[in-house]
Homo-oligomer: A and B are copies of this chain.
Amino acid sequence: MHPIVALDAMGGDHGPSVTVPAALRVMSRHPDLGLILVGDRDVVTRALRDAGGVESERLTVQHASQQVAMDERPSIALRNKRDSSMRVAINLVKEGVAGACVSAGNTGALMATARFVLKTLPGIDRPAICATLPGVRGHSHVLDLGANVDSSSEELFQFAVMGAVLASAIEDKESPSVALLNVGEEEIKGNDRVKQTAALLAASNLNYVGYVEGNDLYGGSVDVIVCDGFVGNVALKASEGVAHMITHFVREEFSRHLYARMASVVAMPVLKALRRRTDPRRYNGASLLGLRGIVVKSHGGADETSFAHAIEEALLEVEKSVPDRISCRLESILTTRQAV
């Protein structure tokens, strides 16, 4: 069976002008893959034509009459937008027509809708958002990045299981290392929830390696890093803030005076290589883990390269049957725990 991914073609800041060309690009790279473009038929068909593509057995358009706005309240979207491109794409996963869906739309609405339509896996209380962060020595899968605030230690433990399964599937690692994000001050090492989660992890058969600190998010030396969604979201956005500030300063310094502008010409190939290497588009595509189905969230401002990467992330999770694996692993852990 060929993998099929449903795309919320209307989602994100740029809608079909980004999602459709990205779809064509991914299709050309994966000859087995089928894609369903969900959205306003006229708009999507026009975007498809503009991008030089045509409908085919592998690339179909599924009409959806509504669209969730980027700033719409999730509860409103859930109630009033039953025929949104986002909802229809998720429905396709629910019905088994597609193996996964991808949306660059409103994160809150995507999470609420996916949870309502697909439901969580047995043993999972709340889904979490997991993304891959680049590091000096590799990369890490970090969750939760903002789906939840004030997660209990039991929920944090479930995040650890989900992250470990994802890392194991994606990286082909038998037993990926799992760490808990904590503060570095001595006396106050962590709050109660972190300490309780550490105890749960130490007693499990996960490869738990202990606490890491904020800077380790970009060390790449641990496969999975677990934190509460409030902390994860702030840390991720703070990182974006620093990267943006440094880029801003680089640009300013290299255009300050004539010598600097000349130097920037000489340094251009190196600066370009650097940009490729730190390109956040290569890491686009966060997984909504813990659902009975695969849902990948793309950055709202994603461009073609970036959205294509999110589609490929979804494809990979389909090929690796991530939700089934999470289910199995969780069941085995819960059984072991009861036996003890």
Q: Are B74 and A187 in contact (CB under 8 A)?
A: yes
Per-position 1/0 for A228-249, Cβ under 8 A of B: 0111011111111111111011
CB-nearest residue of chain B to A233: B183
CB distance from A266 to the nearest CB of B (A): 4
Residues on the B chain within 8 Å of A191, using CB: 149-150, 230
Contact at B233–A185, with CB atoms within 8 Å?
yes
> Is B277's CB under 8 angstroms from A146's CB?
no
Q: Nearest residue in B to A215 (C-beta to C-beta)?
A: B241
Complex contact A244–B181 (CB within 8 A)? no
Interface stretch, picked from A55-63, A216-224, A312-320, is A216-224
Closest to A260 in B: B270
| Contact pattern, A 254-294, Cβ under 8 Å of B = 1, otherwise 0 | 10100110111011011001100110000000000000000
Which of A79-87, A95-103, A105-113 forms part of the interface with chain B? Answer: A105-113
Candidates B72, B245, B260, B273; contact of A134 at CB < 8 Å: B245
Contact of A253 among B185, B237, B245, B277 (CB under 8 A): B277
Taken together as a complex, chains A and B put the C-alpha atoms of A192 and B248 apart, in Å, by 35
Quick check: B149 and A187 within 8 Å, CB to CB? no
Alpha-carbon distance between A63 and B166 when the two chains are bound, in angstroms: 57
Which residues from chain B contact A250 at a C-beta distance below 8 Å? 274
CB neighbours (8 Å) of A148 from chain B are 188
Residues of B close to A270: CB separation below 8 A: 253-254, 256, 259-260, 263-264, 267
Residue pair A278, B214 in contact (C-beta under 8 Å)? no
How long is the Cα–Cα vector from A187 to B248 in the complex, in angstroms? Answer: 31
A136 on interface, CB distance cutoff 8 Å: yes
Q: Which residues of B contact A236 (CB under 8 A)?
A: 214, 238
Q: Decide if B187 touches A112 in the complex (CB within 8 Å).
A: yes
**What does DSSP make chain A's interface, helix, strand, loop or mixed?**
helix
Q: Which of A72, A150, A237, A242 has the most CB of B within 10 A?
A: A242
Min CB gap A204→B, angstroms: 23
* A160 interface hit (Cβ, 8 Å): no
Partner of A107, one of B147, B150, B185, B239: B185
Instruction: Assess whether A234 is in contact with B234, with CB atoms less than 8 Å apart.
Output: yes
Q: Which of B74, B134, B238, B246 contacts A186 (CB 8 A)?
A: B74
CB contacts (< 8 Å) of A241 on chain B: these are 214-219, 239
Contact digits for A117-156, partner B, Cβ 8 Å, 1 yes 0 no? 0000000000000000011100000000011111000000
Closest CB in chain B relative to A134 CB, distance in Å: 7
Cβ-defined contact, A240 with B214, below 8 A: yes
Chain B contacts for A254, CB-based, 8 A: 270
Q: How far is the CA of A178 from the CA of B111 in the complex (A)?
A: 31
Q: For the complex, is A73 an interface residue (Cβ under 8 Å from B)?
A: yes
Contact of A215 among B73, B192, B244, B278 (CB under 8 A): B244
Given contacts A183-B234, A215-B244, A263-B269, 10 further A-B contacts (CB under 8 A): A73-B186, A73-B187, A181-B234, A214-B233, A214-B237, A219-B241, A227-B234, A235-B238, A238-B239, A259-B270
Question: Which A residues are closer than 8 A to B by beta carbons?
Answer: 71-75, 106-109, 111-112, 134-136, 146-150, 181, 183-188, 190-192, 213-219, 227, 229-231, 233-246, 248-250, 253-254, 256, 259-260, 262-264, 266-267, 269-270, 273-274, 277-278
